[in-house]
Amino acid sequence: MRILSGIQPSGRLHIGNFFGAMRQHLQLQAEHDCFYFIADYHALTSNPTPADIAGHILDVAMDYIALGLDTEKTIFWRQSDVPEVTELTWLLSCITPMGLLQRCTSYKDKVAQGLAPNHGLFAYPVLQAADILIYKSDLVPVGADQKQHIEVTRDIAIRFNNNYGRVFTVPEGHIIEAVAVVPGTDGQKMSKSYGNTIGIFEPEDSIRKKIMRIVTDSTPVEEPKDPDKCNVFALLKLVASPEELAEWENKYRNGGMGYSEAKKRLAELIIDYFKPFRQKRAEFENDVAYVKQVLAGGAKRARTVAAETLAEARKAVGLGA
Ligand code: ADP
Ligand code: TRP
C-alpha cells in the first residue's frame, strides 16, 4: 500500500506533532511504501520570510531524519523540488467547483486568525489534492483537522476520472486520527499558534522549566487528585511505562502527592525518551550537506512517479499530443 503525507515547515516540531502525527508516520514505514514530503509550497500561503522558510525546511528535515525516517526505504523530499505538482494543480483547478472550496473550513479559520486572504490560501486544498493524486497514494495519514481536505481530494479525483477516464487512484478515507490531543503547558491543545509547546529538541533545561510551569489545579498535596483531569498525567501517559503509569495513578488517587513530584518525573521521562534522537539531530546540524542530499535523492525518486502521472493527466485532458 502506498502511504503519503505532507508536513508543513512552519517551525520546530513539538511533542504534540510527534505523538499526534510523526510517530504514526514513522511506524508505517516498516510495512508500507511511504512517501513523505515537506510542504513548502503550502507554507508560502502564510507569507513567511525567505530566511524563515529556508530555515524551517531544514529543521523539519533534520527532525524527521533524526527521529527515525528510513532514508533508504522511504521517499522523503521537498514539495517544491517536484514542480510537476503545480501543473497538475492547474489541471485539477479547472474541474474544481468554487463551492467545494468555499465550504472548506480551514480557509475561513486561517483568515479569522489573521492570515491574509490570498488566492493560494483559498486554493490550498487543490494543491493538496495534486500532492496526493500525483503519487497515486492509497492512504493519507493526517490529523483530524485535515479530514475535509482528504474528502475534497476524493471528490476531485472522482470528477476527473468521470470526465476524462480513470487516471487517479481515489485515496481511501482511512485517516489515522491522532491518538489523543496532546495538551500544551496551559492545558489547551499543544500548538505553535498558542505558544504552549514543548519542543522535541529544545534544550533540556528549557523543557524542565516549561514542565514545572504546566497548569494544574490547586488541590492540596495531601488530598486525592483526579488523574483524568490533569495535564501532567495526560503527558505522563505518552512516555511512562504501563507499570509506572499505574503507580502514578495510585499516587494521584491516594493523595499525599504534590504535582511538582509528577512534573519532575515527567520532565526526566520526556528528556530520556528523546535523548537518542537528540544526539543524532546534533550530528545532522553539523552535516547539512547530508540532509540536503537526502532531500535531493528523494526528490529524484518522487519526480519520476510524478512525471508519469502528469503525462497521463495531460493526455487525458487533450494536452498530450
Ligand atoms: P500546530 O498546531 O502546532 O500548528 P500543525 O497543525 O502543523 O501543528 O500539526 C502538524 C501535525 O501534528 C498534524 O497532523 C496535527 O494533527 C498534529 N498535531 C499538532 N498538534 C497536536 C496535538 N496537540 N495533539 C495531537 N496532534 C497534534
Ligand atoms: N495541509 C497539511 C497540513 O497542514 C500538509 C499537507 C500538504 C498534506 N499536502 C499534503 C498532508 C498532502 C497530507 C497529504 O498538515
Does residue 236 have a pLDDT over 90? yes
Task: Tell me, using a 6 A CB cutoff, whether residue 265 lines ligand 1.
Answer: no
Distance between Cα 217 and ligand 1 center (Å):
25
For residues 33-46, give the mean pLDDT. 97
Nearest CA to ligand 2 atom 8: 6
Asked if pLDDT for residue 173 goes beyond 70, the answer is no
Q: What is the mean pLDDT of residues 224-230?
A: 96
Type of residue at 254: N
225 annotated active-site = no
pLDDT per position as a tens digit, 257-300: 999 999 999 999 999 999 999 999 999 999 999 999 999 999 99
Task: Residues 192-282: name the CATH superfamily.
Answer: Tyrosyl-Transfer RNA Synthetase (1.10.240.10)
Cell numbers placing 242: 504501563
**Superfamily assignment of 2-180+287-317 in CATH?**
HUPs (3.40.50.620)
- Tens of pLDDT along 96-136? 999 999 999 999 999 998 999 999 999 999 999 999 999 99
d(CA 255, CA 35): 48
Q: Given a cut of 70, is residue 179 above it in pLDDT?
A: no
| Residue 162 pLDDT grade (very low, low, confident, very high; cuts 50, 70, 90) | very high
Annotated domain spans of the chain: 2-180+287-317, 192-282
Cβ(5) – ligand 2 distance below 6 Å = yes
Is residue 126 within 6 Å of ligand 2 at its C-beta? no
CA-nearest of 305, 309, 320, 287 to 61 is: 287
pLDDT reported for residue 216: 96
* Separation between Cα atoms, residue 107 and residue 309, nearest integer Å: 28
Alpha carbon distance 111, 113 (integer Å): 5
Q: Is the pLDDT of residue 178 over 60?
A: no
Q: Could you read off the pLDDT of 238-263 as tens digits, one per residue?
A: 999 999 999 999 999 999 999 999 99
pLDDT at 285: 92
CA angle 183, 187, 189 (to 5 degrees): 45
Whole-number pLDDT of residue 176 = 57
In this prediction, residues 198-208 reach a mean pLDDT of 97
Please choose from 25, 36, 41, 42 the residue to mutate so as to test ligand 2's pocket, defined by most ligand atoms within 8 A of CB.
42
Specify the residue with its C-alpha closest to ligand 2, atom 14.
5
Q: What is the pLDDT of residue 177?
A: 58
CB atoms within 10 A of CB 81: 17
Percentage of the chain modeled with pLDDT above 70? 98
pLDDT tens-digit map of 47-68: 999 999 999 999 999 999 999 9
Reply yes or no on whether the pLDDT at 14 is more than 70.
yes
For residue 89, name the pLDDT band (cuts at 50, 70, 90).
very high
Give yes or no for residue 26 having a pLDDT over 60.
Answer: yes
Burial 104-136 (b: 16+ CB within 10 A, else e): beebeebeeeeeeeeeebbbbbbbbbbbbbbbb
